[in-house]
Amino acid sequence: MNKILFVFFCLIFFSCKNETKQAKTLSVENTIANGLVFGTSYKVIYNSDVDFQKQFDSLFYVINKSMSTYQVNSNISKLNRNEDNNVDTHFIKVFNASKQIFEETKGAFDPTIGAVVNAWDFGPEGVIENIDSLKIDSLMTFVGFNKVLHQNNVITKPKGTFLDFNAIAKGYGVDVIGEFLESQNVENYLVEIGGEIRVKGINAAKGSFWKVGVEEPNFDKKQVILKAINLKNEAMATSGTYRKFKIDENGNRYSHIIDTKTGYPSKTNLLSISVITENCMAADAYATAFKAMGIEKVKSFLEAHPELKVYLIFENETNELQTLALNGFPK
C-alpha cells in the first residue's frame, strides 16, 4: 500500500511469560539491518552473525524495479504509460495474489484504482485541480481489475488503466526478505517495512516471542500504544486514515483510501484495521480492502475466512474510540 502504516512496533522485546524451553537456553545477540526503502524505513532483526545487508538491498532494488510507481523506468511505470507490457516473476506473484483478493472482496481491493488515487493527490502523479464528479466518473471507466489480464508474463490492459500495487507490494517486500532469511536457515527473525511486519520463531537475544504494538489513532500524529501483542510465525499489516489524509478549504478531511465503487475517499467510521495472517502480502491487501468495506461487511467476510485475525478501531456515535477483535486476534 502507498500509505504510511499505523503500527508502532515495540522493539524493546521484553521477556514473555510464555517462554519456551528453547527460548530460555538462548543468550545470543541479534543482527540488525535498517535503512530506507519504498518511501519509508525498514528494520530487519535476525538471529545470525552473517551480514545480509547487501542481499537485502539487492532484493529491494529488484522489487522497486518491478512495481514502484515512483520510478519512471520500473516495469509497472512502463506498463502504465503503455510502453511495455512485459513483467517479471515478482510482478506476476503480486498480480495473482491481487486478483484473488479482488475477487474475494468483490472489488473492495482493486489495484486499478490508481488513476483515481492520483487524482485525489495521494499517488505519484496525475493530480487533478478542482476535481469534480464528472472527472471522477471519467476516470472510473478505467477501473476494474477484471479488465487486466496476463499470459506468459505479458500484461494486457485498457490504455487508460493505471495499475498501482502500493497497497500490497510493501507487504510482499516483507515476505521476500523473510523468505530469503529462511532460505539461509535463519529460524528467528523480525522483518518490518513501514509498519508491515513478519516474524518467525522468537527474539533469541531476549528469549521471548516477538512483541509489537497497535497504535491508538491520533490525528495529531502522537504515537500512543493502545495494545501490545505477541506474534508467532505470522505477519501483520495495518491500514487506517488517521495519519495520511488531506483537509480542504472547508475543513473536510479526506482519507487516502479510495472507495473502489465510488471513486471517492472512504467515509466509514473505521480509523484503523490490523490484520494478522500467514503472509504479509495478504495482510497488507486485506487491511486496505476492509477499510473501504466497513465494519458490518468485514464481520460478514471474516465468517468465511477464519485464517484472518482482525482488530478494528473505530469511532462510535458519540465520537469515542471503540475496538473490536475478530477471529481470535491476540489479547
The three three-digit cell numbers of residue 63, written as one number: 522489487
- Cα–Cα dist 108/293, whole Å: 7
Which one, of 284, 329, 281, lies nearest residue 308 by Cα?
329
Residue 240: pLDDT band with limits 50, 70, 90: confident
> Which pLDDT belongs to residue 62?
98
Radius of gyration, alpha carbons of the chain: 20
Residue 255: pLDDT band with limits 50, 70, 90: low
Ranges assigned E (strand) in the chain: 7-8, 31-37, 40-46, 149-151, 154-156, 189-193, 196-200, 210-215, 225-231, 235-240, 245-247, 253-255, 270-277, 309-315, 321-326
In b/e form, how buried is each residue of 41-53, taking b as 16+ CB within 10 angstroms?
ebebbbbbeeebe
> Which pLDDT belongs to residue 243?
58
pTM: 0.85
- Cα–Cα dist 77/72, whole Å: 6
pLDDT tens sequence across 158-172: 999 999 999 999 999
| 224 vs 27, residue with greater confidence | 224
pLDDT tens sequence across 90-112: 999 999 999 999 999 999 999 99
Which one, of 238, 241, 285, lies nearest residue 265 by Cα?
241
**Are 217 and 271 contacting, i.e. CB atoms less than 8 angstroms apart?**
yes
DSSP, residue by residue, 85-112 = -B--HHHHHHHHHHHHHHHHTTTSS-GG
Which one, of 219, 192, 204, 216, lies nearest residue 283 by Cα?
192
Instruction: Give me the sheet containing 196-200, strands edge to edge.
Output: 31-37, 40-46, 189-193, 196-200, 235-240, 270-277, 309-315, 321-326
Question: CA distances (Å), 131 to each of 74, 80, 241, in order?
Answer: 28, 22, 21
- Cα–Cα dist 275/237, whole Å: 5
Mean residue pLDDT across the chain: 86
Is a pLDDT exceeding 70 seen at residue 247? Answer: no
CATH numbers and ranges of domains, the chain: 7-326 (3.10.520.10)
Mean pLDDT of 32-43: 95
Mean pLDDT of 241-247: 59
Is a pLDDT exceeding 60 seen at residue 18? Answer: no
User: What are residue 284's phi and psi, to 5 degrees?
Assistant: -60, -50
**Are 47 and 39 contacting, i.e. CB atoms less than 8 angstroms apart?**
no
CB 278: neighbour CB atoms within 10 A?
14
| Mean pLDDT lowest among 24-33, 135-144, 299-308 | 24-33
* Partners of 225 in the β-ladder: 215
- Cα–Cα dist 23/38, whole Å: 33
Residue 19: CB partners within 8 Å, gap ≥ 6? 207, 208
**Residue 112 class from Cβ within 10 Å (0-12 exposed, 13-18 middle, 19+ buried)?**
buried
